[in-house]
Structure formats: C-alpha cells, structure tokens
Structure 1
Amino acid sequence: MLHSIARRPLQASLFVALLGIAILGSFGPEVVRGQAQTDQEVSKMLRHVVLFQFKPTSTPADVQRLVDAFRKLPSQIDVIADFEYGVNNSPEGLDGGLTHCFLLTFKSEADRAVYLPHPAHLAFVAILKPHLEKATVVDYWAAK
C-alpha cells in the first residue's frame, strides 16, 4: 500500500509535465520563443502580374524603351515592395502572343490602390498604349 501511495505523486507529476509539453508543442516553436504570429501578421504579399503583347509595328528599340520605363516605376512609386520582369521562353506554345511578364508585389490592397492612379504609372501607361496589342493582368494573394 505504501508503495502505491508513493507512486501516485510521481505519476501525477509526470502527467502534468507531459501535458505541459503537449500544450506548448501544439503552439509551435514561435510561441515558446515568444514570437507567435496572428493570421494578419503572417506575411502575405499581393502579386500584380502584367503580361504584354506588343504591336508588330513596334520595333525592338520601342519595346526596350517600354521595358526600361516599366523598370523605373519601383524607384518612382515607393509602395512597390518588389519588382521583377522577363521575356517569355515557355516551350509550351500557350502564351497567346504575350511576350513580356512583369511581376509587382504590394504589401496591401491599399498600396496597390496608391500604385494604380499614381502619376508615374499613368505616364507609363500613356507611352505604352500606342505599342500595346494585348495586355493581361492578374492579381493574387501569395503566402510568403
């Protein structure tokens, strides 16, 4: 009987310790280190994908001027969090004539709302229009 009483406090302590480990483990290492993130703090970025097909009458020099003008926008519009671009090289033949891709990243919809009517963006659109055959734009939220 004495042996059974002596084991119960040990069992209770072991149970409490294991329960504590299980609870802390369910929160992940960020909570244990004091770095828990709410859903809103999880880094999500708004991607703005822009695809162009230029008119056949646009020369390579015209297209390069437009690419250079688009590349300057991040230095003119501070809400652009990231920018990259490239020329299509897909072997699939599904591009529908689109040749150039530009990927802009914003931290919020509010930042995108600043970008769209921004004078530098509108000035770019004005020089682009005479050379634009087709454009496709897709925006999406990407988990980072």
Structure 2
Amino acid sequence: MKRILFTSTLAAALAAALFMTAHTVTAAPEGAPAPYRHVVLFKFKADAPKEKVAEVVKAFAGLKEKLPAVLSFEHGLNVSPEGINDGFTHVFTATFKDKASLENHYLKEPAHEEFVKLIKPVIEKVLVVDYVANFVDHGAH
C-alpha cells in the first residue's frame, strides 16, 4: 500500500513539474510594456432588433479607427458549450498601451461617450474586465 501511495504521489509531482516547466507565465517581452486589455461583454435585451445589435457591433468596432489609443480590437459571439455565460452573447476586446491610455484617451473621449449613448436602449447588462496581459512561454525550461 505504501508503495502504491508513494508511486502515485511521485507521478503526480512529476506531472506537475513537467506542466510548470512547459508552461511558464512570463512578463511582456523584454523592453516591451505589457499590453492592457479591456474586455467587454454584452447581454442584449430580448427585444433588441437584430439591425440595432448589428449597428452596435459595427459602432464598437469603429472606435478603433476613431481613437488611436486602441492598438488592436477584436470581437465575436459566445460559442462556449458550457452554457454558463449568463446570457452574455457578444465579446469585445480592445488592447491599449497601458491603463492611462484607456482612462485618458478612450473612456473620456466623445466618440466613446456617443457609443455608450447608442447602446443604452438595447443593452440589458454589461460586464467589463480589464487586465494586464501575461504571456505563456511553452518552451521555457
């Protein structure tokens, strides 16, 4: 019994060590600031017209062209098979140089304020999460 317990413990420890060595979380590449991500999820009202939803998506994507602080932008629909999205259907991610860029050159800009006015009539719920990106180095040892 002790041998089985020892072997199981050793196998688990080796597996954990291999995983940790193969997947090292690192900071941004040397000399580069870590990107600041702004993730927004929308739950539209049940009666929101499809045309209005499409207008909101297009307007959100259009903020990248209007606001140079947005370094990159992507969006998509929730496709998770887990069924725990709480009704959030649309996901948007904008990347900024840093938190100050988001706060001073995005959130306070008239284009963003107009966008917020546009979405209010059709949005039931919004979830926003910001984070500083870490990078996973699969080859670190």
Is 2:95 the partner of 1:101? Answer: no
Q: Is the 8 A contact 1:51 1:137 kept in 2?
A: yes
Corresponding residue for residue 54 of structure 2: 64
Equivalents in 2 of 1:67, 1:94: separation in Å? Answer: 22
- 1:121, distance to aligned residue in structure 2 (A): 0.5
Corresponding residue for residue 125 of structure 1: 116
- Residue 95 of structure 2 aligns with an amino acid whose one-letter code is T
Corresponding residue for residue 81 of structure 1: 71
Q: Is the 8 A contact 1:46 1:141 kept in 2?
A: yes
Q: State the superposition RMSD in angstroms.
A: 1.4
- 1:57, distance to aligned residue in structure 2 (A): 1.3
Alignment gaps of 5+ in structure 1 = 1-36
- 1:109, distance to aligned residue in structure 2 (A): 1.2
- Equivalences for residues 1-144 of structure 1 within 5 A: 37=30, 41-113=31-103, 114-144=105-135
Equivalents in 1 of 2:60, 2:90: separation in Å? Answer: 11
Higher relative contact order (CA 8 A, sep 6+): 2
Structure 1 residue ranges (4+ consecutive) displaced by more than 3 angstroms after TM superposition:
none
Normalised TM-score (structure 2): 0.72
Equivalents in 1 of 2:134, 2:44: separation in Å? Answer: 32
- 1:143, distance to aligned residue in structure 2 (A): 2.7
The structure richer in helix per residue is 1
Normalised TM-score (structure 1): 0.70
